[in-house]
Amino acid sequence: MALYESEYTKFLREMREKHPEWAKEQEEGLALLWDKTVDVEEQKRIRESAEPARAYPYDVHFFR
């Protein structure tokens, strides 16, 4: 029994075969957004300086 393969999946597979350089470009693009070093001290400072949320944010009398 053959497994179903959508037209979109077939298209992507064909394009990846025609353009193997896309894999490297994709990795470079992902690195711009996701491969970041995390500064633990800065994250801690941000968390500690955040204002606590109000119990009921839709209170109309809060700003009076």
Are the C-beta atoms of residues 62 and 54 closer than 8 Å to each other? Answer: yes
Q: Tell me the pTM.
A: 0.44
Query: What letter does residue 55 receive in the DSSP assignment?
Result: S
Dihedral of CA 46/51/52/57: which sign? Answer: negative
Are the C-beta atoms of residues 35 and 29 closer than 8 Å to each other? Answer: no
What is the per-residue pLDDT across 21-61, written as a single tens digit (0 to 9) for each?
999 999 998 888 888 888 999 999 999 998 887 777 777 67
CA atoms of 15 and 28, how far apart (whole Å) = 18
